[in-house]
Amino acid sequence: MEHRILIYTPTGKDGKLVSKVLEHSNLECHVCPNAGEIIHELGKGAGGILIADEALTTDFLRSLTQYLKQQQAWSDLPILVLSRRGLDSPDMRNIYLKLGNVTLLERPVQSVTLVSAATSALRGRKRQYEMREVDRRKDEFLAMLAHELRNPLAPISAASDLLGFAQLDHARVRQTSEVISRQVRHMTSLIDDLLDVSRVSRGLVSLERSQLDARQIVSHAVEQVRPLIDARRHRLTVQTPPDPAVIHGDKKRLIQVVTNLLNNAAKYSPEGGNILLTVDVDHETVILRVVDDGIGMTPDVIECVFEMFTQAERTLDRSQGGLGIGLALVRSLVEMHGGTVAASSDGIGRGSQFAVILPRIAESKPVHEANEQGGKVAATAGRRLLLVDDNVDAARMLAMLLESAGHAVLVEHSARSALERARAERPSVCLLDIGLPEMSGNELARQLRSQPETGQSILIAITGYGQEQDKRATAAAGFDHHFVKPVDTAHLLHLLATLP
């Protein structure tokens, strides 16, 4: 019903004639015998309405205008008006202004013009329906986001209460700390996914390509997903070729692709399921497949599984979790690598299969894993640090952490007081929040750089802004390093230990 044209002409013969012309072009129509009927039928749904101008009596115009005012934000009902009067007529101008999305067709109207106008109106209405669906999925996504963020907040809150109320031995304190760290990592992962999908959709992600062995990509992905697979007691089988499967791509992003596919398989398989991950090669491509014996997918789900915010059927227990953006990221990242990804399933309860096909390249040199961790760095003598953050709790916690590592930490909560403290204390390192009131962290960095007392200090940005343009902005302001909240404290302590 949402794609039909409602027709109302006082002369029934005219309505039937118009309907016949439109139906001849495969357009669905419904002729309404009176004004009350058309308002009633609008409540059931319509792609547009076609009205003769003589039908627009004062009462009907009032009823129609009232209906249009009650439309939802996505809706702008197309209205076609058959008239012998043009917009030069004051009455027609009034109608045009009141009804909004009006197309005026002057009588006598040719059939081709009538069909063209109706088709165009339905095309516009279809776009409105698409926006309605986007809004619906966005609302559902926000509900899922709230749920997914509450999940880690619950154990964090309980752990905080436990530390405050109970006398805990060292082992219990460590266990509680591990719970908080694990849940913070989970929340960080959710936020990173959101930022990733935003950057990809706006074309802001650039790939750092190098020659890679797909077998190593798989190995890293399995390592990341292993805790989830073990927790759900799945059996994971990995099959790779004996020789390198060489591709040209971004290591981090391709690991993310395989990780998301494995996460998807683990989440949508009942406990104790089987997951198969294979790497195959032919002359021109490398094919990565993830196959599970989980809940499977219907054809409708397969059709939109790579769309943003799509999940299998939602349930109240939300046992699978996630935000419905992982597979959208997979498709975008694979396509950025010149590849394709496809999903298939034999139906509900019969598992799913995802296949990623990437261009294969000839191996020009042996592919070796770089040592990303490096050797352990010996602790250095404590430094004098200036920490500036208007969030008092965040500043206090980070200061305590830095002090426990042997550093002397000066804490300020405003940029102006930080400038005065820096001139007096001459810290060797300044850690600055970017979103400070009155003066931004970037402006504070510029002023610190201009002062003789702090011109040579190491400046570290501590911020919730982590996109590439944000990093360029902090670098331009004079920062030496950029950390995104929540700060990877191990990385920060490592950096402080290695600074000259």
pLDDT for position 317: 34
Q: Tokens standing for 204?
A: 């802001």
What residues pair up with 210 in beta bridges, in sequence order?
A: 249
Instruction: Tell me which residue of 183, 124, 121 sits closest to 157, measured CA to CA.
Output: 183
pLDDT for position 367: 54
SS (H, E, C) the chain: CCCCEEEECCCHHHHHHHHHHHHHCCCCEEECCCHHHHHHHHCCCCCEEEEEHHHCCHHHHHHHHHHHHCCCCCCCCCEEEEECCCCCCHHHHHHHHHHCCEEEEECCCCHHHHHHHHHHHHHHHHHHHHHHHHHHHHHHHHHHHHHHHHHHHHHHHHHHHHHHHCCCCHHHHHHHHHHHHHHHHHHHHHHHHHHHHHHHHCCCCCCCEEEEEHHHHHHHHHHHHHHHHHHCCCEEEEECCCCCCEEEEEHHHHHHHHHHHHHHHHHCCCCCCEEEEEEEECCCEEEEEEEECCCCCCHHHHHHCCCCCCCCCCCCCCCCCCCCCHHHHHHHHHHHCCCEEEEECCCCCCCEEEEEEEECCCCCCCCCCCCCCCCCCCCCCCCEEEEECCCHHHHHHHHHHHHHCCCEEEEECCHHHHHHHHHHHCCCEEEEECCCCCCCHHHHHHHHHHCCCCCCCEEEEEECCCCHHHHHHHHHHCCCEEEECCCCHHHHHHHHHHCC
pLDDT for position 328: 84
- The ranges assigned to domains in the chain are 5-131, 143-201, 211-359, 384-498
pLDDT for position 147: 66
- List, run by run, the mean pLDDT of 10-residue segments along the chain (500 residues): 92 86 95 92 94 89 92 93 78 81 90 96 95 82 72 80 80 86 80 74 78 95 90 94 93 92 91 95 94 92 78 42 71 93 93 95 62 44 89 88 92 94 95 91 96 94 85 95 89 91
How far is residue 60's CA from residue 167's CA, in Å, rounded to a whole number?
75
Pick the CATH number of 143-201 from 1.20.120, 1.10.287, 1.20.144, 3.30.710: 1.10.287
SS (H, E, C) 398-426: HHHHHHHCCCEEEEECCHHHHHHHHHHHC
How far is residue 398's CA from residue 188's CA, in Å, rounded to a whole number?
17
Residue 375 one-letter amino acid: G
CATH code of 384-498, in short, is: 3.40.50.2300
Topology agreement, domain 5-131 and domain 143-201: no
How far is residue 192's CA from residue 187's CA, in Å, rounded to a whole number?
9
Q: Tokens standing for 55?
A: 């039908």
What residues pair up with 6 in beta bridges, in sequence order?
A: 30, 49
C-alpha 121, offset from chain centre: 32
Cβ atoms 247, 274 nearer than 8 A: no
pLDDT for position 366: 54
Cis peptide bond upstream of 452, omega within 30: no
- Compute φ and ψ for 259, nearest 5 degrees: -60, -45
Q: Which fold has domain 211-359?
A: Heat Shock Protein 90 (3.30.565)
- Compute φ and ψ for 405, nearest 5 degrees: -90, 5
CATH 3.40.50.2300 fits 5-131, yes or no: yes
Q: What is the dihedral of CA 298, 303, 307, 310, to 10 degrees?
A: -20
